[in-house]
Chain A
Amino acid sequence: MKSWVSSAFSDSAFANTTKPTRTTRASSQKQTLSNLTNKEPKAKISEPFNSPAKKQKENTLSLSLKYEPTTRADLSVHKNKIDQLSNLLDQIISKERGSILLIEGPSGCGKYITLKVLCKEKGVELVEWDPSNVNLKSFDLQIDGEYNEPYESQIKNFSQYLFKSSRYESNQLFNNDKSTQNVKKVMLVKEIPNFAFRDPKIFVNLLNDFKRFSKFSLIFSLTQTTYSSDINPQKIFPTDIRKDLKCLEISFNSIANTFMNKKIEKIAKMEHFGFVDKKFLENLCSTSNGDLRHAINLVELTSTGHKVQFTQKKISKTKTGEAINFDSGSKDANYSIFRGLGKILHRKNVDNNFEEFKMPKHLVQYKRPVLSADPEDIYDKLPLSSDLILSYLHQNYIDIFNIKSSSSNFDCQFEALDSINDSFIMSDIINKTSCLFESGTNTGTQEARLKEISASISIRSVLFNFYFSTENESKSLWMPLFKPFNSKLIEAKLKRKKMARDFLNLAIENNSNMIKYLIEMNKEFFIELIPFVQLRSTMRRPPGQQRDNLVQMMFKPEFTQLFSKCTKTRSNQQQTTENDYENQQDEQDENVLLNENKPYKKESNVSNSANKGNYEYEDASGLKIEDFNF
C-alpha cells in the first residue's frame, strides 16, 4: 500500500484522519462483526497497563469494551428511549425500502450500543461503513486492471457502499458467508464521510438516489457537538433536507448520573475494586458530563495509575480522599457562548469572606472577593476570538450593568462605567495592533499573546467593575444576550455604500456632473448630498412643478434604504399635516409624468415607509438569544 505517500488532501487521507477515540472504537467493533480474531494486539494498545493478577485474556480488553452491555437490561439508557428506538427499528425493517434514520446525541451516551443490542435482539445484521476499507479497494483495482491509482476516491467508496450492498445481496463489502444471506441487514454510518462536509450537495444527491433504489435502510449515528460549526452534523442535515429525505429521527440525551453511578458501581464490583466512595462518584459524574465511555475510561485510568494499591485491594482508600484530581483526564470542555459570557457578566464569587489578604487603606474600596472562575480560563474556553468577546461584552454589558447597579449612587456607577469603557478602548487598540502582526511574517506568538492580553483586559475589567457593595439580589432575572451590533454595522455600511454607488451610476447616465461624487463617496456624499436631495423630495412642491430626475430615482424601491430618514422625531409632526396633500399630489404627478414607461406605482407607499425610518438596527436589536442556535 502506498497510502502513506498520498497527498494530505486526497480523499483517502481524509478517511484515515478520523478522531482517535473513534477509530479505536470503530476498529474494535469491526472485529466483532467480521470474523477477524486478532483481538489482542488492538486491545493491548488501548490498555497498556495490565494488572498482573488477572488472567491474560480478560485483561487485554479495556473496561469500556469488557463491560459493554449485551442485553437490554444492561443498558444505561432510559427505558423509554430504548422502546422508542426499538419501534423505529421495527418500522425501518418492515418498510425495507431505503428509509433513513438519524440517531443523535452527545458522545458516550450509548447511541451505538443501544442500536447494537437492539439489532442483536431482532436478529438484524448491522453493516457498518468503514472509511478505511481496504478490501473494497483491492477488489476494485483488480476489476479495472488499473494499478496506477494509489488511492480511491472516498465519494466512490461511499457510493459503492450504499449501492453495491443494495443491488447485489452478497457483496465484497459484506461477509461472503452464504449463511448470512437471509439475515436482514441494516446499514450504519457512524462517521459522515469527509467529502460531505466539503460538498454537501453530492452527499445529499447520493442519499436521494439511495432512497429511490436501495432495498436496505440506512442509519446515521451522529455525535452532537455544540459549537464547532465546521463539522457539525446540523450542517449536513439541516431541517429542510431531513424533511426532503423523510428521515426518521431520534435524539439521545447524555446519560443521567443515577445510571452512571449504577454502572460504575457494578463495574467496580465485578473488578473487585471494593467499596466506591460517593464523593468519588460525584467527582466522576461532574467531570465526565454524562459521557459514560469517558467515565469508565477514567475509572480504568485511576485504577491502573495506583497499581500497587490495586493489587493490595486498598483502592477504596485512595479513592475516598480528594487527592485524585481528574483535571488531567477531564474532557476538554468548552463553554457555549451563552455560558461563557454569563460567567463574565454575572460575577460569581467563591464566598464572601475576603480576610485572606490585607489591602492598604487607600485601596480598600477596590477590594473584591475571590472569583470562582479564572478570567483567562474563561477566555481559553470561550470559542470566540478576543475581538468578538469584546464586541459581545460591549453590546451586552450595559443592560446588565444597569440592573445590577441600580441601587448604587451616580458617582459609583459612572466611575465603574468610565473604567470599563477605558479598558474596552485599551483592549480594542491592542486588538488592532495585533492585527498588524498578522500580516507580517512572524505570525503566531506575538499576535496570540496580544490577543490574550486584550481579552484579559476586557474580561477582567467587567468582572472587576460589576461588583457593588449593595448588591440587590435580582439574579433570577433572565437577561437576553444580543449579538454585537458593531460587527453588523460594517455590513450595513457596506450595503449602503454599494447602494449609493448604484444610485450614482444611475444618476451619471442623466447627468455627467455627478461623476465626481463617485470618487468622494466617503464624505460629502453622505453628509451633504444625500440629506439635501432627500429633503428636496419631502418638500411640498409648487403645483405643476415636476420632480427632477434625481428625486425620481431615489424613489425606486431599491434605494429607499439609502434615503431612510435619520430624524424620526421631527418628520412625523411635519409630515402628518402634509401627507394627504402630498400623496394626492404624487399620484397625480405619476400619471402625468411617468406614463411613458414603468410607472412607479409604489411611490407613495415607499415614501411613507421611508418616513417611518426602517433601520437595519431595529432588526438587529430584535435579535434574541434564539439566534445563537444553541
Chain B
Amino acid sequence: MSLWCDKHRPKTLNTLDYHKEQADQLKKLVHSEDFPHLLVYGPNGAGKKTRIMCSLKELYGPGVEKLRIERQQFETPSKKTIEMTTLASNYHIEINASDAGIYDRIVIQEMIKTIAQTNQLDAQTQKSFKVIVLTEVDKLTKDAQHALRRTMEKYMNSCRLILCCNSTSRVIPAVRSRCLSLRVPAPTADQIAMILKQTCKTEGLNLPQELANKIALKSNRNLRRALLMCETAYVAHYPFTNDQEISEPDWELFLRETARQIVQQQSVDRIVQIRDRLYELLCHCIPADIIFKGLLKELLTICDGQLKPQIVEIAADMEHKMNLGDKQIFYLEAFVVKFMSIYKKHLEFSLAGCI
C-alpha cells in the first residue's frame, strides 16, 4: 500500500492538474531542437519534482520510470571515501550532492565527468544527451556551485542538468544565468481542495467540500502535506465528517508549544528548558532553518506589532550566521535570548504606560 501522494502523482505533462500553461511550455521545450539546462525552483510540495519527471518522460518515453538505486563511491584528496546514493534510469540520474557536506564539490565534478564522457549509443533515435537531476542545489557550497558552472559548459554536448531548489537566492548568479529558470508556484487552496476531492473520488471515497477546504487551508499550500493530511484523516475516521480533527505533524505542535513557553515566561530557567526542547527537535532531524522559520512564525502571531520588524531582523541575522557557523543550537538559543529580552522590555514598558 503506497501513500496517496505517491500513488496519484501525475505521470505525464498532459495530466498535470494546475499550472497548465507552464506544462504546455515545457512540452514545447522538450520537442524543440535544443533542450536547455533547467533550474526549477519553488516552495515545498508545489510539484517541482513531478514536473521534472513528467518532462523526462516526455523526453525519453516510459523508460525513465524504471528506476534503480545505485551507490557510488567517491574519494576525497584526503583519502576519505564518501558513499552517495543515486537514483538512475537508462536516461537520467538523480543525486542529492548536498548529502556529501563539504565534499560536495568532488562528488559533483566526478559524477558529471563520468556521466558526461559516455555518449548515448544511438543518437538517431534517442536524444543525444543524458539528464542529470540535482536536488537541493541551494544547499551546495559555493565551491561546488562554481564547479558546477565549469562542468556545465564543458559537457554541454552530452548532458543536460536539471537543478531543483527552493529558492534561487543561494544559487550563484553564474549558475542561474546558464539555466532556464522555471518557477513552480504553490497551488492555491482551491486547487488543492479540488485535487483532494479528485483523489478521494479515485480512491472510491466521498470527501465533503468543507473538509477539503479545511485541509487545504491547514496545509500551507503544500500539496504533499495536504494529501498526507487527508489520508491520515481517512485512517483516523471514515466516513469523513465536516468537523473532524485534522492532525498536524507532531514537531509542529511541539514547536508551537515551545513558542508559547517562550512568551509565557522570560527567565534563565526557561532558557534551560527551551534548550532541551530545541535539542529534542534537532535530534529528530528537523532542519534548523525550519525550526527557525516555525519558531518565528509562532512568535510573530503572539507578539505585538511594534516588535515584529525588530524580531524578524534578529531572526534573519541569526539564521544567516548559522550558515556561517557550525553549531546550530548556539544560534537558536541566541535568538531565544534576544527575543526574551526584547519582549520583556516591551512588556514592562507598556505596563508602565498603563499605570
Contacts and interface: CB of A to CB of B under 8 A. Distances in A.
A566 B281 contact: yes
Contacts of B334: 418, 421-422, 424-425
Contact of B285 (A387, A513, A526, A533): A526
Interface string A360-396: 0000000000000000000000000001001100100
A300 B42 CA distance: 78
Given A516-B49, A518-B69, A425 B249 contact: no
Contact of B327 (A391, A523, A527): A391
A414 B269 CA distance: 12
A520 B224 CA distance: 14
Interface stretch (B93-101, B112-120, B121-129, B151-159): B93-101
Please report whether the interface of chain A is mostly helix, strand, loop or mixed according to DSSP.
helix
A113 interface: no
A548 B234 CA distance: 13
A390 B325 CA distance: 13
Contact of B249 (A421, A519, A528, A571): A528
Contacts of B271: 398, 417
Please report whether the interface of chain B is mostly helix, strand, loop or mixed according to DSSP.
helix
A566 B284 contact: yes
A164 interface: no
B268 interface: yes
A497 B44 CA distance: 21
A493 B2 contact: no
Interface stretch (B56-64, B179-187, B202-210, B336-344): B336-344
Interface in A545-599: 548-550, 565-567, 569-571
Interface in A496-524: 496-497, 500, 508, 511-516, 518-524
A429 B284 contact: no
A486 B95 CA distance: 29
B330 A414 contact: no
Nearest to B322: A425
B232 A536 contact: yes
Nearest to A564: B284
Contacts of B268: 398, 401-402, 405, 413, 417
A413 B345 CA distance: 13
Interface residues of B, number: 74
A140 interface: no
Interface in B278-300: 279-287, 290
Contact of B2 (A411, A511, A535): A511
A535 B344 CA distance: 37
Interface residues of A, number: 74
A439 B324 contact: no
Contact of B136 (A391, A424, A522, A526): A522
Contacts, number: 195
B196 interface: no
Contacts of A65: none
B226 to A, nearest CB: 11
A117 B284 CA distance: 62
Interface stretch (B13-21, B22-30, B251-259, B305-313): B251-259
A621 B276 contact: yes
Contacts of A424: 330, 334
A603 to B, nearest CB: 17
Contact of A529 (B98, B228, B290): B228
Interface string B44-80: 1100010000000000000000010100000000100
B172 interface: no
B303 interface: no
A519 B281 contact: no
Indicate the member of A496, A521, A535, A540 with the most B CB atoms within 10 Å: A535
A418 B337 contact: yes
Contacts of B232: 532, 535-536, 539
Contacts of B6: 511, 513-514, 516
B235 A536 contact: yes
Given A418-B341, A421-B333, A522-B287, A540 B236 contact: yes
B135 interface: yes
B133 to A, nearest CB: 9
A566 B228 contact: no
Contact of B251 (A394, A529, A566): A566
Interface in A275-325: none
A40 interface: no
Given A410-B266, A489-B282, A526-B285, A428 B87 contact: no
Interface string A391-435: 100100011011001000011011101100110110011011000
Given A394-B330, A486-B329, A522-B98, A418 B338 contact: yes
B23 to A, nearest CB: 20
A542 B251 CA distance: 26
B231 interface: yes
A383 B253 CA distance: 42
Contact of A567 (B3, B229, B250): B250
Contacts of B257: 567, 569
A540 B245 CA distance: 13
**Across the A-B interface, the 7 shortest Cβ-Cβ residue pairs:** A531-B249, A513-B6, A421-B334, A548-B1, A414-B341, A539-B236, A532-B228
17 contacts: A414-B337, A417-B337, A421-B334, A485-B279, A496-B284, A496-B285, A508-B69, A513-B7, A516-B67, A519-B87, A519-B94, A531-B250, A535-B247, A535-B249, A550-B1, A570-B250, A616-B283
Given A425-B331, A513-B6, A533-B3, 9 more contacts: A387-B326, A399-B272, A402-B272, A405-B268, A492-B283, A496-B284, A518-B87, A526-B285, A567-B257
